[in-house]
């Protein structure tokens, strides 16, 4: 099964009521689970360990919610590009290549904005909207969870 087929399966599962699908062929086995089961079962503990660094919490436990609160009102006209899978987020196709998308980059529907590595497969994540990226929400080479916001995009008018 090639990368494009896996990506299409993920889109189909996301848009359907299928809870889980497993497909096996000569190259290996792929299992795709819907958000409710995967996020609750597998994402909670690793997400807290990765995204809540120990030094930041003791310094200002109230600072994190305050920093998040101002971002919310500004985001009412922005659209979020979210991760369709669990994996490692990369902003470049390879270390010697330019950034796929950065703040100020104009994206069109279908344009690759990042790469997510999952089980040694590098998945190109495409924008489903046209607009301008106003914020990158994830650091390069960081782990991401299913449905985690990656970019904020101001849609074209």
Does 52 map to a domain? yes
Does 67 map to a domain? no
Does 65 map to a domain? no
* Beta strands at 149-155 and 79-82: parallel, antiparallel or unpaired: antiparallel
The CA R_g of the chain, rounded to the nearest whole Å, is: 17
Cα–Cα distance, 59 to 93 (Å, whole number): 36
Return the CATH number at 39: 2.40.50.100
Full residue range of the structural domain in which residue 106 is found: 3-59+73-155
DSSP tag of 92: B
Does 64 map to a domain? no
Q: What is the pLDDT of residue 1?
A: 66
Does 44 map to a domain? yes
pLDDT in tens, the chain (157 residues): 677 777 777 777 777 767 777 777 777 777 777 655 433 333 333 444 444 444 444 444 444 444 444 444 355 789 999 999 999 999 999 889 999 999 999 999 999 999 999 999 999 999 999 999 999 999 999 999 999 999 999 998 7
Does 68 map to a domain? no
Q: What is the pLDDT of residue 54?
A: 46
H helices present in the chain, as ranges = 3-15, 35-38, 44-51, 56-59, 63-74
Cα–Cα distance, 143 to 46 (Å, whole number): 9
Cα–Cα distance, 147 to 145 (Å, whole number): 6
- Tell me the whole-structure pTM to 2 decimals: 0.52
Q: What is the pLDDT of residue 125?
A: 94
Cα–Cα distance, 130 to 134 (Å, whole number): 13
- Domain tally for the chain? 1
Burial class of 147 by CB neighbour count within 10 A (0 to 12, 13 to 18, 19+): middle
Does 66 map to a domain? no
């Amino acid at each position: 099964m090639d990368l494009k087929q896996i990506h299409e399966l993920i889109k189909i599962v996301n848009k359907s009521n299928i809870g889980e699908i497993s497909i096996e062929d000569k190259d290996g086995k792929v299992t795709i689970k819907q958000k409710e089961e995967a996020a609750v079962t597998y994402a909670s503990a690793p997400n807290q360990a990765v995204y809540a660094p120990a030094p930041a919490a003791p310094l200002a436990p109230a600072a994190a919610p305050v920093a998040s609160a101002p971002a919310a009102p500004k985001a009412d006209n922005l659209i979020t590009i979210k991760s369709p899978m669990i994996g490692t987020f990369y902003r470049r196709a390879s270390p010697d290549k330019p950034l796929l998308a950065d703040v100020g980059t104009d994206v069109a529907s279908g344009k690759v904005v990042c790469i997510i590595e999952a089980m040694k497969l590098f998945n190109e994540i495409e924008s489903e909207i046209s607009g301008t990226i106003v914020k990158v929400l994830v650091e390069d080479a960081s782990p991401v969870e299913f449905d985690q916001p990656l970019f904020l995009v101001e849609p074209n008018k």
